[in-house]
Structure 1
């Protein structure tokens, strides 16, 4: 079960890296838009984040419920905003995805 927890953590970080890398790449252009890679990365983040919570509970490790709830809510916001942005191709959705992703990173690192 510990190996599964680490696998979820690695893929969670891969999803974050793909999302953030895509954001930085799109910012270089004139009109950044939300692409399908952002939706895929956001879904990876959402699923692996939920998997991390599940494995921590299964291993009887401490789970900071408030922090995990906020992170999960931010992951849902990222996924939903990316999906809306991919369908509508609006610039504001791109910046919303970037903002929610940055907020999720801040919550993950700063909140102990």
Structure 2
């Protein structure tokens, strides 16, 4: 289960913020089975499905995915600001997201 419960809380808590959580499934079987799993586990964020073989899938290749979990924190311009391989812990993710949101708010206030 890992970070699944925390990801749900994070998505709900930040639903009114300029924040999007995007998941990715790859090499994990039939798309219908994945959709059923998402429904069963009440996954409340968008997900992409990479149907490529091994690391040859387009999403795996583009994002240099090495395994799961792997997390990227992107800013409003799409620049990767943080990248974690494995589970960095809830506090680490929360602090990084909050810092980036604060930075964005400060930029917006200057406009």
> What is the TM-score normalised by the length of structure 2?
0.31
Structure having the higher helix fraction is 1
- Structure with more strand by fraction: 2
**Higher normalized contact order (CA 8 Å, seq sep 6+, divided by chain length):** 1
Q: Between Structure 1 and Structure 2, whose CA radius of gyration is higher?
A: 2
